[in-house]
Amino acid sequence: MASKPPTTPAKPAHWPATNDGDSVVLERRAQRVKPPQLYQVVMLNDDYTPMEFVVLVIQQFFGRDIETATQIMLKIHLDGRGVCGVYSKDVAATKVDQVLDAAAKAGHPLQCVSEPVES
């Protein structure tokens, strides 16, 4: 049998003072969450892949109309690279895989990469 009644443990020194002895009210702070990092899907120029195939791939996998796809293809051809779209990391990786798969099946050496968008 216990000879002494149980005691209430002491509060740590870092706890704020309370009015009624047992309740503690902590201040809620708004959390700041950064938006997710975006990635751009970039196609690289080569001397072997037909321009028509590049336009078709841009239309099929990036949902561009023929005029926009042609403009992107010309940028790739003239500058050596062109941005086809900007997506989250997983979606960009999927788009790259789709383009590389289609190019391999068609027998073209078309290259496509994803890279972080500079903020």
Q: What is the pLDDT of residues 70-81, one digit of tens each?
A: 999 999 999 999
Asked if pLDDT for residue 3 goes beyond 80, the answer is: no
Measured CA distances, 37 to 69, 85, 88 (Å): 25, 14, 7
pTM score, two decimals? Answer: 0.72
In the beta sheet, which residues pair with residue 83?
42
9-55 pLDDT per residue, tens = 766 666 555 555 677 777 888 888 989 999 999 999 999 999 999 99
Domains, the chain, ranges and CATH?
48-116 (3.30.1390.10)
> Of all residues in the chain, what percent carry a pLDDT higher than 90?
68
Residue 90 confidence class, pLDDT cut points 50, 70, 90: very high
Count of residues in the chain:
119
Q: What is the pLDDT of residue 7?
A: 75
Max Cα distance, the chain (Å): 93
